[in-house]
Amino acid sequence: MVPQDIFLFAGDITSNIRLGNPSILDAQVRAAARDVHLDDSIARLENGYQSEVFEGGAGLSVGQKQLIGFARALALDRPVLILDEATSSVDAHTEARIRDATRRIMAGRTAIVIAHRLSTIQSADRILVMHNGEIRESGDHASLLARRGLYWTLHQIQFSREQVAHEVLAE
């Protein structure tokens, strides 16, 4: 499971990805970090994978913490994956890295993805749109957009916000 808020334990980067599981080898930790685009960030740390992590992850960015959560999930290599608002508190650049990481860790797994950011779920085989605790729509991204219902409305709102942000940044 990759939750919205990743909790990091006192230790180092490797132990936080491994989560105390001795069957996860250093090579698997490094491969998981590489696959979720975390290895460059780790390489910039003074002691790399052995860099000290303080409880709660003080000193690491929200994006780095989130990517450690994705690396954990990939290193554990379970058949079912739950992503609970895993991109809700990161910037657009980190979200793009996480979106790619998500595709990698979901490959060959059953994934349950809870998200408000529609970009996180666009490639899902089946999307359930909930409103006031009820499933209101179901389908894939294209069919839900074609229906022009609640999902389409949410997509329009999010797309217009992103478009405005891109225009502001371009100025």
For residue 150, the Cα-to-chain-centroid distance in whole angstroms is 24
pLDDT at 163: 57
Instruction: Tell me: pLDDT of 139 over 70.
Output: yes
Residue 170 lies in a domain: yes
Output 94 or 43, whichever has higher pLDDT.
43
CATH number for the domain that contains residue 12: 3.40.50.300
Global confidence as pTM:
0.81
pLDDT at 75: 94
Residue 133 confidence class, pLDDT cut points 50, 70, 90:
very high
Residue 120 lies in a domain: no
Percent of the chain with pLDDT over 90: 54
Q: What are phi and psi of 130, to 5 degrees?
A: -110, 145
- Say if residue 129 is in the same domain as residue 159: yes
Residue 169 confidence class, pLDDT cut points 50, 70, 90:
low
pLDDT at 94: 73
Residues whose CB is less than 8 angstroms from the CB of residue 95 and which lie 6 or more positions away in sequence, other chains included = 87, 117, 119, 120
What is the extent of the structural domain holding 105?
1-115
Residue 24 lies in a domain: yes
Residue 68 lies in a domain: yes
pLDDT at 22: 92
Instruction: Tell me: pLDDT of 114 over 80.
Output: yes
- The DSSP 8-state label assigned to residue 154 in this structure reads H
- Say if residue 47 is in the same domain as residue 27: yes
Residue where a domain terminates, one of 70, 89, 115: 115
Q: How far apart are CA 73 and CA 32, in angstroms?
A: 9
Direct distance between the N- and C-terminal alpha carbons of the chain, in angstroms, rounded to an integer: 39
**DSSP string over 69-137:** HHHHHHHHT-SEEEEESTTTTS-HHHHHHHHHHHHHHHTTSEEEEE-SSGGGTTT-S-EEEEETTEEEE
pLDDT at 116: 83
- Say if residue 78 is in the same domain as residue 20: yes
- Our CA angle for 99, 84, 82, nearest 5°, is 85
pLDDT at 52: 94
Burial class for 41, CB neighbours closer than 10 Å (0-12, 13-18, 19+): middle
Q: How far apart are CA 51 and CA 55, in angstroms?
A: 13
How many of the other CB atoms lie within 10 Å of CB of 43? Answer: 10
Read off the pLDDT of residues 66-109 as tens digits, 9 standing for 90 and up. 899 989 999 998 999 998 987 776 777 777 777 777 777 788 88
- Say if residue 165 is in the same domain as residue 111: no
